[in-house]
């Protein structure tokens, strides 16, 4: 059952993008993009500039749909199965990760960060835009930890290159923060990132000549995948929420458990 955290409703006047975030539209950055695109109206007037403030009685619409602040805030950890997408709408997709979370207001939830369709593991959903905004801010340096299965044993020189940083398709380097070799085989490697660019791990290993057979995220900051099975979800604890907001990367001290890696060896 979802943990109920009451939202602070004494917020007016409030900047439009902050209001939208509190309505579960997305992070403040995502809401600012919607405003720039002319998809937001206040009292039937399209707003494109930043800095506009709204009052309690103002009517705010996104894509002609009226939005209101959520009365309850949700912070949820989901073990996303491979084959599900994190976007909330794509005309070419039918399996949405958000639909696995069976709470009344799941239509207000959005994912914090990405996990691509071919990957599985831990992802956080919330309807708290302020929380999402802080979580994704670079100064918090929230770690993301993955188990990666490769098509052949990894070479130590390649991991050293990934630590140093590799320029692939953008002016900034793709870089891992840390790696740990898994016991008994070098086809499995535990990788830790901070920034987490789009498909960063896959691009790094592809550039180095490997095929990623499976990729499972097992930790975000202080939150661990632990015993969640694919498709299962749970509420974050208050301690985990506070830890994420404080930039903690230390989970609860417990023995490492065996993590199920969803492999698809038939994929090119």
The catalytically annotated residue of 105, 116, 226, 235 is: 116
E-strand ranges in 59-211 read: 60-62, 65-67, 72-73, 75-80, 110-112, 120-126, 144-150, 178-181, 188-193
The shares of helix, strand and coil residues in the chain, as percent rounded to the nearest 5, are 20, 25, 50
Phi, psi dihedral angles at 97 (to 5 degrees): -60, -40
The pLDDT value recorded for residue 7 is 55
The pLDDT value recorded for residue 46 is 96
The pLDDT value recorded for residue 264 is 58
Distance CA 205, CA 200 (A): 9
Question: Mean pLDDT throughout 128-149?
Answer: 85
pLDDT class of 9 with cuts at 50, 70, 90: low
Percent of the chain with pLDDT over 70: 89
The pLDDT value recorded for residue 117 is 93
The pLDDT value recorded for residue 62 is 94
Do 226 and 260 contact (CB within 8 A), yes or no? no
Question: Mean pLDDT throughout 124-147?
Answer: 85
Between β-strands 110-112 and 120-126, what pairing exists: parallel, antiparallel or unpaired?
antiparallel
CA distances from 39 to 33, 49, 86, 93, 110 (A): 9, 12, 22, 23, 18
Q: Which 8-state DSSP code applies to residue 159?
A: H
3-class secondary structure, 14: strand
Tell me the two tokens of residue 222.
């202080």
CATH numbers and ranges of domains, the chain: 5-67 (3.10.290.10), 73-138+225-245 (3.30.70.580), 142-220 (3.30.70.1560)
| Catalytic status, residue 265 | no
Residues in the chain: 268
């Amino acid at each position: 059952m979802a943990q109920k955290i009451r939202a602070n409703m004494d917020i007016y006047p409030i900047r439009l993008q902050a209001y939208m975030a509190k309505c579960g539209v997305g992070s403040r950055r995502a809401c600012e993009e919607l405003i720039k695109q002319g998809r937001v109206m206040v009292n039937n007037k399209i707003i494109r500039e930043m800095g506009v403030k709204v009052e309690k009685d103002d009517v705010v619409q996104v894509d002609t749909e009226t939005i209101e602040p959520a009365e309850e805030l949700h912070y949820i950890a989901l073990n996303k199965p491979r084959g599900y997408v994190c976007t909330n709408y794509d005309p070419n997709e039918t399996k949405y990760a958000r639909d696995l979370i069976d709470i009344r207001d799941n239509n207000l939830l959005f994912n914090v960060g990405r996990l691509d369709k071919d990957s599985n593991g831990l992802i956080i959903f919330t309807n708290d835009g302020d929380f999402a905004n802080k979580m994704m801010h670079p100064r918090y340096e929230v770690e993301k930890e993955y188990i990666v299965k490769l098509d052949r044993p990894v070479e130590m020189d390649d991991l050293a290159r990934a630590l140093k940083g590799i320029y692939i398709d953008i002016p900034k380097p793709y870089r891992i923060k840390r790696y740990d070799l898994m016991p008994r085989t070098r086809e499995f490697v535990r990788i830790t990132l901070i920034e987490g660019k789009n498909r960063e791990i896959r691009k790094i290993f592809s550039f180095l000549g490997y095929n990623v057979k499976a990729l499972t995220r097992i930790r975000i900051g202080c939150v661990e995948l632990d015993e969640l099975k694919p498709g299962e979800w749970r509420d974050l604890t208050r301690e985990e929420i506070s830890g994420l907001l404080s930039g903690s990367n230390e989970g609860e001290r417990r023995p490492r458990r065996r993590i199920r890696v969803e492999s698809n060896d038939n994929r090119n």
